[in-house]
Amino acid sequence: MIWVIVLTFLAYTVFVAWFSWYKTRDTDMSSSDGYFLGGRSLTGIVIAGSLILTNLSTEQMVGLNGQGFGESMLVMAWEVTSPLALIFMAFVFLPRYLKAGITTIPDFLEQRYDFRTRQIVSILFLLGYAVAYLPTVLYSGALVLDSIFNISTVMGTSPFYTVLIVSLAIGIIGCGYVIFGGLRACAISDTINGVGLVIGGFLIPILALVALGSGNLVDGVDKLLHANPAKLNAIGNHSSSVPWTVLATGLLFNNLFYWCTNQSIIQRTLGAKNLAEGQKGVLYAGFFKIFGAFFLVLPGIIAYLLYGDTLNNADMAYPTLVVDVLPIALSGFLAAVLFGAILSSFNGALNSSITLFTLDIYRPMFKPKAKEHELVKTGRVFAGILAAISVVVAPFILNAPSGLYAYLQEMFGFYNVPILAMVVVGFFTKRVPASATKITLIVHIVLYALSKVVLGHINFLYILSVLFPLNVLTMLMIGKLKPRETAYELYDSNKVNLKPWKYAKVFSAFTLALMIGVYVFFSPIGVAESTGDYSPISFVFMAVTLVIFAGVYWFWKKTTADDEKVEAQKSKKAI
């Protein structure tokens, strides 16, 4: 039967590769825009599919379902609240990015602040991708594919060499897409795999409900709703991994960084053919994220009802469920879809890394007058080197302690919030100087490090809730004490049409209503049972956060008003 799985896996994977080549065969890869941004020709559907697949990975498929198995539906917050950040992206961030015609986030930071800020942020991104993200994607992907194909058993290899072999295969195929097809090939393959992921992803919970109901879907739904209703509660208390009080603060800031300033994600949107298509892609992706809870968390809840405490490792909930409920004939298809998700995450980070290195480090530092074809060639070489390093590092993650990925996500907190603050302050102020970015980054790193030592037991989302407004306040204060000499004006590149999508606001309102509806459904008001223990500490935290926000808003309004007075006085003197 293993040959059936292998054949269906190969058939789907080869089809995706061929179709991606076919659709991109006429794309000009000789220019940086053509190679790194798909010639600024991506449509809404392609952007949405690429965003979704770049975001989804085996870590989420396995990890979130494992968290659902161990906790409850509260972990759906990572998925269901994402539309908030994506709506901000559509209306606040994307119009400004496309107007400026930037290729990378550091590119904007140089326009707004200075070249040194651009370099620092580029290096931070590259370190995060190369040291943590790329090897982790390869490692988790290798474990999932090994569990489906029994590679270690068939080849008789140790876990170390199994991870190395599978990582090498993923790395070679991923490099093929990035080196020869650029961003457009990655985006096309992501769109096709996105369709497969929707089909395969939703098929698992349906088949799992049939298994829960002993062959009857209706009975399975009934058991899900009544066997343990507390597991369906999405409102987390203060001791949970996602307390309800951080949904509009720490979690939102984390999501804003990820969906609005993280280069591996937003690079898809920077390749939009116009603002309308970019907004469509972003908002379509936000709409889809609401339903992610039904195949990224719900299967873990069903697995808990099926297996109870018989599973020693919560992360085995999803793989066990897939093996038990999925017909052999469809196993290869799902394996191909998961492989596509692995490849997409790898490709997204790899493409972003070479874009950052080539345009933000290589050209300005080593060869300012490099021609377009030289930049593309350099990017391809760097892609091969970075992929090779990631493949070598991946198997060594076996020796790391459990929970490495979650640990690394917390470590990203060392730079994600200050980068978000730099972009936001850059948008909405005119005289905050470049020195503010360096000082704020240092202050943030020191405070975040101290929080890990002194407040190690405090959820890191609480820490981010406080540090983001403090970062903004720090930058505003520096801008007040030592403003830049000339007021900043957003550069208009005239590269794409900036007319917005006429249905963007209506679609956003509908998405928000649906998001609230999902939360009401998975709450004590709906089908869930309250877990209680909603400590007064949560309300104190909310009050403190609101006070900080009020202070930041007041200071920003005062700074903006003062800047306008200065500009008015200068205009009068000029006359």
SS3 98: helix
| Winning range, highest mean pLDDT, from 23-37, 204-218, 314-328 | 204-218
Under the banding of pLDDT at 50, 70 and 90, the label for residue 345 is confident
What's the average model confidence in pLDDT over 553-573? Answer: 63
CA distances from 67 to 74, 312, 327, 526 (A): 9, 13, 25, 22
Tell whether the model's pLDDT for residue 170 goes beyond 60: yes
If you average pLDDT over every residue of the chain, what do you get? Answer: 80
pLDDT score at 282: 94
Instruction: Pick the more confident residue, 405 or 58.
Output: 58
Q: Which range is least confidently modeled, 276-285, 470-479, 493-502?
A: 493-502
Under the banding of pLDDT at 50, 70 and 90, the label for residue 34 is very low
Whole-model pTM: value is 0.81
pLDDT score at 444: 93
Tell whether the model's pLDDT for residue 14 goes beyond 90: no
pLDDT score at 350: 78
In angstroms, the CA 298 to CA 64 distance is 9
Tell whether the model's pLDDT for residue 401 goes beyond 70: no
Tell whether the model's pLDDT for residue 479 goes beyond 70: yes
What's the average model confidence in pLDDT over 347-353? Answer: 75
In angstroms, the CA 262 to CA 256 distance is 9
What's the average model confidence in pLDDT over 366-392? Answer: 81
What's the average model confidence in pLDDT over 541-559? Answer: 67
In angstroms, the CA 217 to CA 207 distance is 8
Instruction: Pick the more confident residue, 107 or 315.
Output: 107
What's the average model confidence in pLDDT over 397-411? Answer: 61
In this structure, are residues 122 and 360 in contact, taking their beta carbons and an 8 Å threshold? Answer: yes
Tens-place pLDDT, residues 120-153 = 888 888 887 777 778 877 887 787 777 777 788 8
pLDDT score at 212: 92
Tell whether the model's pLDDT for residue 567 goes beyond 60: no
- Residues 287-300 as b/e (b if ≥16 CB within 10 A, e otherwise) read bbbbbbbbbbbbbb
Tell whether the model's pLDDT for residue 26 goes beyond 60: no
Query: How do the domains of the chain map onto residue ranges?
Result: 2-20+42-399, 404-488+537-575
Instruction: Pick the more confident residue, 442 or 106.
Output: 442
In angstroms, the CA 568 to CA 265 distance is 39
Tens-place pLDDT, residues 250-301 = 889 999 999 999 877 887 788 888 999 999 999 999 999 998 888 889 999 9
In angstroms, the CA 166 to CA 260 distance is 32
The two three-digit tokens of residue 194, written as one number: 């996105």
Tell whether the model's pLDDT for residue 504 goes beyond 90: yes
The two three-digit tokens of residue 409, written as one number: 């996500």
Under the banding of pLDDT at 50, 70 and 90, the label for residue 510 is very high
The interaxial angle of helices 159-212 and 263-270, nearest 10 deg, is: 70
Tell whether the model's pLDDT for residue 451 goes beyond 80: yes
Tens-place pLDDT, residues 236-246 = 877 788 888 88
Instruction: Pick the more confident residue, 86 or 38.
Output: 86
Range list of β-strands (E), 286-420: none
Q: Which range is least confidently modeled, 81-85, 278-282, 328-332?
A: 328-332
Tell whether the model's pLDDT for residue 217 goes beyond 90: yes
* Backbone conformation region of residue 38, classed left if phi is above 0, alpha if psi is from -120 to 50, else beta: left
Sequence-separated (6 or more) residues with CB below 8 Å from residue 390: 130, 134, 135, 138, 167, 171
In angstroms, the CA 360 to CA 371 distance is 15
Instruction: Pick the more confident residue, 103 or 523.
Output: 523
Superfamily of the domain at 2-20+42-399: Sodium/glucose cotransporter (1.20.1730.10)
